Structure formats: structure tokens, C-alpha cells
Chain A
Amino acid sequence: MTDIATYNFAYLDEQTKRMIRRAILKGIAIPGYQVPFASREMPMPYGWGTGGVQVTASIIGPDDVLKVIDQGADDTTNAVSIRAFFKKVAKVAVTTETAKATIIQTRHRIPEHPLNAGQVLVFQVPIPEPLRFLEPRETETRKMHALEEYGLMHVKLYEDIARHGRIATTYAYPVKVEGRYVMDPSPTPKFDNPKMHRSPALQLFGAGREKRIYAVPPFTDVVSLDFEDHPFEVQTFDQPCALCAAENVYLDEVILDDHGGHMFVCSDTDHCEKRRADPSSPLSEGRAEGAGGGDLAASPATPSPALRAAPPHDGEGKEAR
């Protein structure tokens, strides 16, 4: 009690939470529109999820169950720290199970387990402006959003096809929300874009450094931009997950040693662990054969956090264009 008494519930003061909730409500009312808000200093550096944390802090209540993922994993630095933060300042229950969580704060992934009505997905967003690298002037991009001038977004996709023969954008793939605003879905892989379309869960996006909040209400159309003769497609993987043999999920490449050993495993750790723990799943046996070689048998069942994801940092390796 002694240390919690020094904090307001969920860290932020009530006026700030009120201000952020107003921004969230406005964002929900205008799907995909970037609402400016007075982003606060948080006890973490920009680029580590200050926007997402402020959104979560403003919507969380004592009865909520929080899950935090980073690149799909519950056990990476960013996810562990943010979970610990809310455990401390809001005393909420935390979980790693997607289905049990009421609020899921995420960096760069949408969980594989389908989300339900009543759940809230909070995204950490480094750069909310999808037009940023095409038009550096914020005054101009706002005007372009206002006037629905989105030809430029297709110029980027055109460039991709001209250079690579296909749309090579694999993450932060621009989407059009409810037929109006073009939105950056945060640097999630484009694999997750279809999950945003008409999702029953509320999706909130917070960009702390850029001071923007935007939202996709439940059951909203989210359509990935494309060309008629180069339609949008998601990534596919040649092999199933090396641990749980899941197919049609997003996989991370994990380096195992210094000799070129590597394996592809589910990026969603909760999904992977669930599948392996489920005794009724026929896949749990198949795994032993699938994992095969001595290298893999010697390696830990779950790769260590250090291997799973690069530490979060500013800019998130956006193409410098």
C-alpha cells in the first residue's frame, strides 16, 4: 500500500485521463481520423509505447484484465515492463491469454486468437501519419486527409511494383477505414490487416511522441489499398511453426546458433503455447518429428526473449523514404 499510495490510479491524473478519453471518443466517432491530444511524459522513452500506455491508462478500470504483447510475445522486455507497470499502478489482473483479456496492449501484432466483442486492442504507434514519407509537411498531409486526396498513397505502391514487381510493403501497410480516411495500421505486418476488417473488438491507436490518437470502432470496414491488377495479399510461409506446427499464422525466424541454424516459430507466443499444451491436439506429437534434428532438441522449447525480438526503438526501421 505504501508505494501505491504515491500514484494516482493507473498513473495518470484524472484530468489527463479525461482529456485522453475525449480524444478517444472523437477518434471512435471519426474512424481513422488522427485526433491530436496533449501527450504526457511517461516514465519510459518515446518509441517504447508511451502512446499505447496513455490510452490503456485512460480506459483501464480495476476489473479489467490486461494482456501486453510485443511482436506477438508476452515475454519480451517491453511487454513485461508495461504489464508490471499496470500491475503496480492500477493493481489490475494480468494475463497472457488472449481470450481472457479485456484490454490487450500490443506492439506490432494482432493476436492469432480471434478477438471478441467487448475486448479492446490498444496499439503502440511510432508514426501515425501514413503519408509522412511521401509528403513531409504536416500542414499539407492534414489538408490531403481533409480533402480525401489519397492519390499519393498509390504512388508509393506504384513505386513498389515498378521496383520489385509486386507491392513490397510488408508492414505499416496503408488501409482505408470505412471508405474515408487512409490510416497507418501501426507497424503490424500486413498479415494482420485482414484481422482489422470488421473486427468485433474496439481498436485504439496511441502515438505518444507524435501526440495523435485514432480508432477503429467494432465492425468497421478496413480495406488495404491495392491496384486492380496487383491485389493485396498477405505473407505466406512455406513451413508450419516448428514448435506447434500451426499453419496460416505469422511466423518469426529465430536464430539458434552461430552456424546458420534457424527455425520459424509462431510470433504469437500465447497461441503457440496453447497449442502445445493442448493434449487433444494431434499436432503435439507431430511436433517431435517436425522439430527433428539434434540442434532443435537441444534448444529450449521457447526461444529466449533476447532472440525473439529486437528491442523497440524509434522509427522502427521504417524505410527512409
Chain B
Amino acid sequence: MTDEPLLRVSELSKFYGSRVGCEAISFDLWPGEVLAVVGESGSGKTTLLNCLSTRLLPSSGTASYRMRDGQWRELYRMSEAERRFLMRTDWGFVHQNPADGLRMTVSAGANVGERLMAVGDRHYGRIRATAVDWLSRVEIDEDRIDDEPRAFSGGMRQRLQIARNLVTGPRLVFMDEPTGGLDVSVQARLLDLLRGLVTDLGLAAIVVTHDLAVARLLSQRMMVMKDGRVVESGLTDRVLDDPRAPYTQLLVSSILQV
């Protein structure tokens, strides 16, 4: 880890009319760090994630990102072209529903290769070799490379979406409920895979989830949100083992024990 953060967020707020989406959020994210944002539905987690990934523009506040060349850039002052370029090279976005993040009518190989072609790779053999490599890294058989994601199971689609996002070697990945809607055994494998990839690649990630177990497994640090505000933040183990805010205590004690 370097001594400079990757992302600096300061007093970020998003209002939908008079309603609060998220309010006065500040934090730093360091390279290689996984930050979990937890809270019940409607607490503003996804609004925050969408603001950070510039899919939404915030009402106020700033977010700066350290580019590969070391320059700090303010996200909401960048041109749309620059933001979209960042989005498909240095960043990734894993949607809860893989259909939102994949092109369902083109083959798995093309899904993985799209980002490469978008940044100018024009060599079919090379693109395909990279796609094969990435499919094997997310445990999808090579012979499925020409199948459309429509023919894939939910877990496979999610893994394909992850491969598609990671192919350009991003430094920051946003994940919105990456394990939502998957059954527990598939979830476990996906989490295992994600944890491996994040460590191997030194990715920084912001993971939005309502599942505290996912947060515990993936993240080093955690923010608990309620009604658009951060009620508690700290190291994941500390927050989960010794919750201080009343809401966090409620959240932790609500986990069903099997």
C-alpha cells in the first residue's frame, strides 16, 4: 500500500427533490483496500455507489480520484468522455443483476473482449486468448466461450460479469450486491473467487451489500448506513464484533443463526 489514497470523498450528498438519497458522506479509499457499505434497503447504499461511479451526479460534495499517472482528478468536473473512458479502463462495475452488466445477445468471449476492443485492440487472436484466460480464471469452461450468457446459470453469469470487468486490469471496482439472488453454495464459491482475485490483483473495491457475512469475508473496512447517513465506520472485524452504534448493534444481532 502506498501512503496516498486512491479515492477521496468529501461531504457527498444526493437529494431526490426534498428526499435524502445520501448525505454528508466522507471517506478515503486506499489502493488494494476493500470497503463494504452495509445497511438495510433504502439506506442510500446504492445511491452512494452510483454517485461514486459517476452513474449519478451528486447534489453537493466532491470526490477525487488518483489517476494512473498520479494526478488527482475531481470526478464530477471531468468531461463525460473522460468519465466513460475511466469507467471502461481503470474501473469496473459489477451489477447485482448480471443482465444489466452483460450483453446478453453476444457470446461470452465477446463480452469479455468488448473492453479490449473499446480501448483499441484490433487483433482477434489476442483478444480471444485473453478471453479464454479470463474465463478460466473465473472458472468458466473454455468450451463455453462462444455461448451467449443467456445460456448460463446465475452464478456463471455473475462470474462472467466479473471477468468482463477485470479484463482491462482496473484499479477500482464497484460492486452492487454481487452475490444477491444466488443460492448459498454458489455464493460461497463466488465469494471465494472474488477474494482470490481481489488479493491477486491488488484491487480496491467498494462493495455494497446488505449481507453482513459477505462484508466480513470480503472487506477490510466497513461503513454502516442508515437513512442516507453513515452511522458507524471502522475495521470490519471491529464493527461486527463490537458494534457501537445502536443501529449497528441491531443489525448485527439480526443475523439468523443456523
- Known interface pairs A155-B103, A155-B117, A229-B125. Does A162 touch B110 (Cβ–Cβ under 8 Å)? yes
* Binary contact track A286-321/B, C-beta < 8 Å → 1, others 0: 000000000000000000000000000000000001
Cβ–Cβ contact B119 & A155, under 8 A = no
Q: Name the contact of B117 in the complex, choosing from A154, A162, A163, A321 (C-beta under 8 A).
A: A154
Asked if B118 and A159 make an inter-chain contact with CB atoms under 8 angstroms apart, the answer reads no
Is A158 interfacial (CB-CB < 8 Å)?
Answer: yes
A67 to B122, CA, bound (A): 40
Chain A proximity of B128: nearest CB distance (Å): 8
Tell me whether B117 and A229 are in contact (CB under 8 A): no
Q: How far is the CA of A155 from the CA of B107 in the complex (A)?
A: 9
Residue of B at shortest CB range from A143? Answer: B80
Q: State how many angstroms separate the Cβ of B207 from the closest Cβ of chain A.
A: 27
B109 at the interface (CB under 8 A from A): yes
Number of A interface residues at 8 Å Cβ cutoff, please give it. Answer: 20
Q: Among B110, B115, B123, point to the contact of A159 (Cβ < 8 A).
A: B110
A96-152 at interface with B (beta carbon < 8 Å): 134, 143, 147, 149, 151-152
Provide the bound-state CA to CA distance between A228 and B121, in Å: 9
A159 and B107 form a contact (CB under 8 A) = yes
CB pair A229 B146 closer than 8 Å: no
Contacts of B23 in A (CB 8 A): none
A134 vs B118: C-alpha distance when bound (angstroms) = 14
Is the contact region of chain A dominated by helix, strand, or loop, or is it mixed?
Answer: helix
With a cutoff of 8 Å between Cβ atoms, the chain A residues found around residue B146 in the complex are 162-163
Closest to A135 in B: B103
Q: What range describes how many residues of B lie at the interface? A: 20 to 34
Q: Please, which residues of chain A bring their CB within 8 A of the CB of B145?
A: 162
Q: Is A227 an interface residue (CB 8 A)?
A: yes
A159 touches B106 (CB 8 A): yes
Contact partners of B118 in chain A: CB under 8 A:
149, 151-152
Question: CB within 8 Å of B: which of A154-177?
Answer: 154-156, 158-159, 161-163
Distance, CA A156 to CA B125, complexed state (A): 15
**Other-chain contact of B122, A143, A147, A156, A227 (Cβ < 8 Å):** A227
**Would B110 and A147 count as touching, CB distance under 8 A?**
no
B258 at the interface (CB under 8 A from A): no
Nearest A residue to B146 via CB reads: A162
The contact of A151 among B105, B109, B119, by CB within 8 Å, is B119
B1 at the interface (CB under 8 A from A): no
A230 at the binding interface (Cβ < 8 Å): yes
